[in-house]
């Protein structure tokens, strides 16, 4: 493999279509028992001259992070308990461990509702796209 032009090989891989990249991934998995890392996604650069990179797509899932419980810790604990279904003790630990993830991979609308409920009782909340 020492005589292989790494640049040419890299260019060939970068120019694969999604279907070809999937076929390559399957082949490597079957032939060499090597699985793709990080969820199996093959990261590809956008083709030259493309209108917008794929990374600019708006996220569809969001995490809601409690960054601070503010002055009304007990009220925040009650809201977190109701939102997560956790026991009172677990909700208290979650709140006291801020920053803490309250909801994971929820829709934009659900994230906004959770944020509004927590902010209504004085908590500081951050919504992050996944």
Which tokens in the block code for residue 12? 């060939």
Is the pTM for the entire model greater than 0.75?
Answer: no
In a domain, 109, yes or no: yes
46 and 91 share one domain: no
In a domain, 105, yes or no: yes
73 and 40 share one domain: no
SS (H, E, C) the chain: CCCCCHHHHHHHHHCCCHHHHHHHHHHHHHHHCCCCCHHHCCCCCCCCCCCCCHHHCCCCCEEEEEEECCCCHHHHHHHHHHHHCCCHHHHHHHHHCCCEEEEEEECHHHHHHHHHHHHHCCCEEEEEEC
Name the residue range of residue 44's domain. 6-50
User: Each residue of 21-52: pLDDT tens digit?
Assistant: 788 878 887 887 877 654 444 444 455 555 55
96 and 117 share one domain: yes
120 and 71 share one domain: yes
Q: Which range, of 3-17, 23-37, 41-55, 116-130, averages the lowest pLDDT? A: 41-55
In a domain, 56, yes or no: no
Give residue 56's pLDDT band: very low, low, confident or very high (50, 70, 90): low
- Please tell me the total count of domains within the chain: 2
Contact 25, 42 (CB under 8 A): yes
User: Each residue of 80-98: pLDDT tens digit?
Assistant: 999 999 999 999 999 999 8
125 and 94 share one domain: yes
In a domain, 68, yes or no: yes
Average pLDDT for residues 67-83, to the nearest whole number? 92
| Portion of the chain with pLDDT greater than 90, in percent | 44
67 and 26 share one domain: no
99 and 43 share one domain: no
| Portion of the chain with pLDDT greater than 70, in percent | 82
In a domain, 1, yes or no: no
In a domain, 44, yes or no: yes
State the Cα–Cα distance between residues 34 and 53, nearest whole angstrom. 28
Give residue 119's pLDDT band: very low, low, confident or very high (50, 70, 90): very high
In a domain, 55, yes or no: no
85 and 123 share one domain: yes
77 and 120 share one domain: yes
């Amino acid at each position: 493999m020492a005589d292989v032009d790494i640049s040419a090989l890299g260019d060939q891989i970068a120019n694969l279509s999604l279907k070809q990249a999937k076929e390559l991934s399957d082949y490597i998995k079957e032939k060499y028992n090597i699985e793709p890392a990080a969820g199996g996604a093959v990261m590809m650069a956008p083709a030259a001259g493309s209108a917008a990179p794929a990374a600019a797509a708006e996220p569809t899932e969001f995490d809601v992070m409690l960054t601070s419980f503010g002055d009304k810790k007990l009220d925040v604990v009650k809201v977190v308990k109701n939102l997560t279904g956790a026991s009172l003790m677990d909700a208290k630990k979650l709140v006291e461990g801020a920053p803490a993830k309250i909801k994971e991979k929820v829709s934009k609308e659900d994230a906004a509702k959770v944020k509004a409920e927590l902010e209504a009782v004085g908590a500081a909340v951050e919504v992050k796209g996944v």
